[in-house]
Amino acid sequence: MTDADSEATRRIRGLADPLRRAIYAFLSRQRHAVTRDEAASALDIPHHQAKFHLDRLEQDGLVTVDYARPPGRTGPGAGRPAKRYRPAESEIAVSVPPRGYDVAGDLLARAITRSAADGIPVSEAVADVARARGRAIAAARGAEPPVSASAAREAAEDILRGEGYEPERDGPTTVLRNCPFHRLAQDHRDLVCGMNCALIDGVGDALAPHSPVVALEPEDGRCCVTLREGA
């Protein structure tokens, strides 16, 4: 499971409690930030219960908070500002096995923009932006120049494992048991598999001078890309 999916799983687990889910639903219906007292009154629960569940929602990243005094109350006698809650803007999505359709959508949108701006074929733009994304993924995961081809292969496997590819060794070949773009690849195989290969190639770029050899080798039941140790 990717880091993003792990975070989303934690958030969804936080909504497993029926009362906490009801509080979150109440917040989502409001056009303004809600205080603990407002939540307690709306759901007819004790103040301490509203506080507990709202703070858990904050801890799980499902709500954001600010502080403000009630309208019309200012100055030294107005009391302490009240803590207010509103739903976080981030979306929650979990897929099993891990999928990356949001990544594919972003890459394809960037490629279309690049194609229109530079007058190059869409397939070429897709490869360029996907390769750049692969390099960025490797950099974000702290990739450093490896000391050997075997170390580079292992580093690539670790990076791709973190992205949900589920690498598995089959002798000299590393196969990827999961394709994050599986459904898209079923209908648009050439475009999506080419994008996927370029992305993984970008990961390999970050592991020069011992970059693994990335190849398109489609086979049912797994990702179309394989890796082998470079020269």
CA distance 216 to 184: 16
Distance, C-alpha 223 to centroid of its chain: 19
**pLDDT value of position 223:** 92
**pLDDT value of position 60:** 85
**pLDDT value of position 26:** 93
**pLDDT value of position 91:** 59
Q: To which residue do tokens 């949108």 refer?
A: 109
CA distance 175 to 171: 10
Around Cβ 172, how many Cβ atoms within 10 Å?
10
Identify residue 206 by its one-letter amino acid code. Answer: A
Residues of the chain with pLDDT under 50: 1, 77
- Exposed, middle or buried, 135 (CB in 10 Å: 0-12/13-18/19+)? middle
Phi, psi dihedrals of residue 110, rounded to the nearest 5° = -65, -40
Between the alpha carbon of residue 213 and those of residues 8, 153, 172, 205, the distances in Å are 33, 9, 11, 10
List the 82-87 sheet strands across, edge first.
34-35, 82-87, 63-68
**pLDDT value of position 11:** 66
**pLDDT value of position 1:** 43
CA distance 172 to 201: 18
